[in-house]
Structure 1
Amino acid sequence: MKKVITLLFLVLVGFVQAQQAFKGKGDTKINVGANLQNDGSGIQGSIDFGLAENFSYGFVASYLLGVNEFSGFYNGGTTPYVNEKPEFKDRFDAKFRINANIGNVFNIDEKLDIYPGLNLGLKNFGGHVGGRYFFTEGFGVFTELGFPIAKYSDDNDLFDHLNNQVTFSLGASFNL
């Protein structure tokens, strides 16, 4: 019982002591979490640097750990595939991104940061919409929805679709 009361106290203090989610210039956030999508799931990590009151830039990388094997005829072709697995280049993606941190524009809770943005990656040009909620000065949670706008491939390769689709990410966020 003593441990439960201590845990509840720490959670309550975390909510009471929560700080502003995005402070602007000089602010640095790191996100680490799960990446979920069709035909695979993996990990995602990102870092964002504040440039102005409502603007940041950063980098994001993802790697698909669990990917479905492919057997059959791809894209109506005549070449049969049997238990094909994607290589590293098919599983990995990295992107440069810019965000508009607009939580304070809508005058919502200062612990919540909402950020739409654009990204330029190894596989496509795309966009994302995300949110971070900070429980304490240094720790919070995040979620993001990413989507391609323009793909670099013609989808003729067996695993081109892996990093060219809508993705959903969630995990922990840290304030540096």
Structure 2
Amino acid sequence: MKFTRTKIEDVVIIEPTIHGDERGYFLETFRQDKLEDFLGFKFNFCQDNESKSSKGVLRGLHYQIAPFAQTKLVRVIKGKVLDVAVDIRKNSLTFGQYVSVELSADNKKQLFIPRGFAHGFVVLEDDTIFAYKVDNYYSPEYDRGIAFDDKDLNIDWIIKKEELKLSSKDMKQLKLNETDDLFEFGVDYYV
């Protein structure tokens, strides 16, 4: 496995080693020991999630607040997405900045998104299957979001706004500067 820090170094791209021949391929999609060694801290994924979406669906930008904040490890099983992680850690040098990475069944890249980030993705191919691990259970009372079209974030979602398909929840999220439910930079969320 290859681990690469992004421009926001806490967000990491993971590229598996693919062993293939005429029969097909094999790869390890997750190795906790190797990821923890690279990151320098421990975590424990406890829930796996999966969604199927058509082209143009945008899900996000979502996060959960303490005590149910979540680290995510995301990947695409079928199709293609543009995946986005936004730093929402107050006083962070990269607060309000984002990382976007194309994840696909073809490139098999994964994105590690730590607590303190809002996450979203836009689907670039029909029938895309998106899967992810989280290290805390889903809790509706602690679920929050940020507007996907917040002008201060200026995220390029690739697909025109009028062609996006959003849930009613995602159409009415607050802008980053309107929410008080943010994280403190430097707080250890992995204790």
- Greater percentage in strand: 1
Whether TM-score is above 0.5 comes out as no
Larger Rg: 1
| TM-score of the superposed pair, with normalisation by structure 2 | 0.26
